Structure 1
Amino acid sequence: MRNRRHRSRTVAALAAAAFLGTASLTACDAQGGNSSAPGPSAHSKPSPRPTPAWDTTPRSLVAIGDSITRGFDACSVLSDCPEASWATGTDAEVRSLATRLLGKRAASHSWNHAKTGARVADLTGQVERAVVERPELVTVMVGANDACRSTPAAMTPVARFRADFQAAMRTLRRSLPRAQVYVSSVPDLKRLWSQGRTNALGKQVWKLGICSAMLADPDDLGAEASERRESVQDRVVAYNDVLEEVCEKDRRCRYDGGAVFDYRFDGDQLSHWDWFHPSKNGQARLAELAYRQVTARKPPA
């Protein structure tokens, strides 16, 4: 009798265990099938932060960069002409980005901290001055002077260019986490050489030392000179890759997609003082490109 009762208790325990196990399995199946979805598990990936909408109507603007943004040689020989700047100029012939965006408010709500001769290493200092204005949009055009050295060997190394641009962006974000940044590509310096070398006056000005790595001996089409120019061109392409890659990692930064690099400046759009920097006509084209992209809902493909 004791053995029979023991067996009965054992059978009952096994049956209960089987019932509980079946109930557990049924509950799991119901949760994954007919019931609502389970909550996030320890292995679930967090949802990515949504990209903030790009503001197509910023109410203030600061420009940083180099001689192009200062309007160098747009008005007179070997001198700045900030009133003709594509970014912040007041010249009616140019219709700068600031004028197109801000209208009459451009004079009091836009500032130009670019400097002729500036390289990417100078950008952090310009950012430190720019953030004081608390702009909603910062335009950046830099890199041409990093390539325009006395020789290709003197060009800024790509790794150094990346580190300096990242440092400038970090400085900007510490003070202006919500400001939008519009980054222009470095112009195609080889195409500018190709256009300017047809003008005798321009070639005389080039002898003063403008972008010697590209412009020295402009009529020399030999292998060595061609290799020199090609190395400068390759470096410009690499700089543009850096600008794009660093900008892509910032949720409020928009790269121009190579628009400035791809633009085919003609003789009327180059300064008739040096046949290398943009004329007022060329500055107007830069302003038009920038306005089109700053006011676009989506960045260039």
Structure 2
Amino acid sequence: MRKRSHRARAVAAAVAAVVLGAAGCDAVGGHSPGGRAGSARPSPAPSWNTAPDSVAAVGDSITRGFDACSVLSDCPEVSWATGSSPGVDSLAVRLLGRERAATHSWNFAVTGARMADLPAQMAQAAAHRPQLVTVMAGANDACRDSTAAMTSVADFRARFEQALRTLRESLPRAQVFVASVPDLKRLWSQGRTNALGKQIWKLGICPSMLGDADSFSAAATLRRNTVQDRVEAYNAVLKDVCAKDRYCRFDGNAVHDFRFGTEQLSHWDWFHPSTDGQARLAEIAYRTVTAKQPVT
């Protein structure tokens, strides 16, 4: 009886050692031989969803379709972000389909808005719990009465960071697409050939860049270059802040680098995007959002 009892205990101990040895590594986060236990674990969810099912937009007049349909008026139906126009095929329509986009996309952009207005817009967007938020802001921070009145780079950064924090407080995993600020100097160079556009510019559209549109004096050239430098600094901020958020994608300066021609500019003010220009912006956004890897 003692021999059998001793043998039974030895067998049980051996079996236990085998079982514990097979399971022990995984119990502390290691890998069992051959990686069998590790392969049974579910793979982590991807950090970026290329097919979000709801979209909210924040920003300024470009996202409102300003001057695309009639003079000095918003036209949100042609917005690159959430518009319903077949001539644009907005980002929301491309991602969701036309029927779903009508009920699962929202536009909180405001004509004339600056980066300081973005936190409040983000709070409005977050209330709808979108899976994707689009951001296009910064042009009005550079488009001021004078270069001295432009938003400082430090304030621009602080407000953008605040806007993202506002979103993250309620939607930590909502995705954010950030469009670069357009090349305002190129828009001036394209639009200045149109007499009607220059008359509308005099009503107060981006005076820091568009004022004295035909002047090539040293002062006018310096003013435009100062605005251009500030826009480039804003874009560097957008890229840097976005890169620190795993659910944020910057467009890699695609909007800034896009060469708007006369067909892509409003035939009312020759500065804001036309319907065709809005469609080009929608293409850039869709390409960035659906890419497997972020643009660098």
TM-score range normalised by the length of the shorter chain: 0.7 to 0.9
- Say yes or no: does 1:152 pair with 2:152: no
- Say yes or no: does 1:99 pair with 2:93: yes
Match of 1:80 among 58, 74, 79: 74
**Counterparts of residues 54-203 of structure 1 (less than 5 Å):** 54-103=48-97, 104-203=99-198
**Counterparts of residues 1-301 of structure 1 (less than 5 Å):** 52-103=46-97, 104-301=99-296
- SS at structure 2 position matched to 1:76: coil
Asked if the contact 1:214–1:228 (Cα under 8 Å) also holds between the matched residues in 2, the reply is yes
CA distance in 1, matches of 2:219, 2:139: 22
**Could you report, residue by residue, the CA deviation over 1:267-294 in whole angstroms, capped at 9, with x for unpaired residues?**
0100000000000000000001111111
Code of the aligned partner of 2:53: R
Q: Identity percentage over the alignment?
A: 69
- SS at structure 2 position matched to 1:274: coil
Shift of 1:51: 9.4
Shift of 1:93: 0.3
Shift of 1:222: 1.1
CA RMSD in angstroms, aligned pairs only: 1.4
Code of the aligned partner of 2:230: R
**Could you report, residue by residue, the CA deviation over 1:131-175 in whole angstroms, capped at 9, with x for unpaired residues?**
110000000000000000000000000000000100111111001
2:22 is matched with which residue? none
Asked if the contact 1:51–1:251 (Cα under 8 Å) also holds between the matched residues in 2, the reply is no
CA distance in 2, matches of 1:176, 1:92: 31
- SS at structure 2 position matched to 1:133: coil
CA distance in 2, matches of 1:161, 1:51: 33
- SS at structure 1 position matched to 2:127: helix
CA distance in 2, matches of 1:106, 1:122: 25
Code of the aligned partner of 2:213: P
Runs of 4+ off more than 2 Å? 50-53
Shift of 1:53: 2.6
Asked if the contact 2:59–2:113 (Cα under 8 Å) also holds between the matched residues in 1, the reply is yes
Rg (Cα) greater in structure:
1
CA distance in 2, matches of 1:59, 1:97: 11
- SS at structure 2 position matched to 1:111: strand
Q: 5+ residue gaps in structure 1?
A: 1-35, 41-49
CA distance in 2, matches of 1:51, 1:121: 34
How many pairs align? 255
CA distance in 1, matches of 2:119, 2:165: 9
- SS at structure 2 position matched to 1:264: coil
2:15 is matched with which residue? none
Shift of 1:52: 4.5
Asked if the contact 1:77–1:274 (Cα under 8 Å) also holds between the matched residues in 2, the reply is yes
- SS at structure 2 position matched to 1:292: helix
Asked if the contact 1:52–1:252 (Cα under 8 Å) also holds between the matched residues in 2, the reply is no
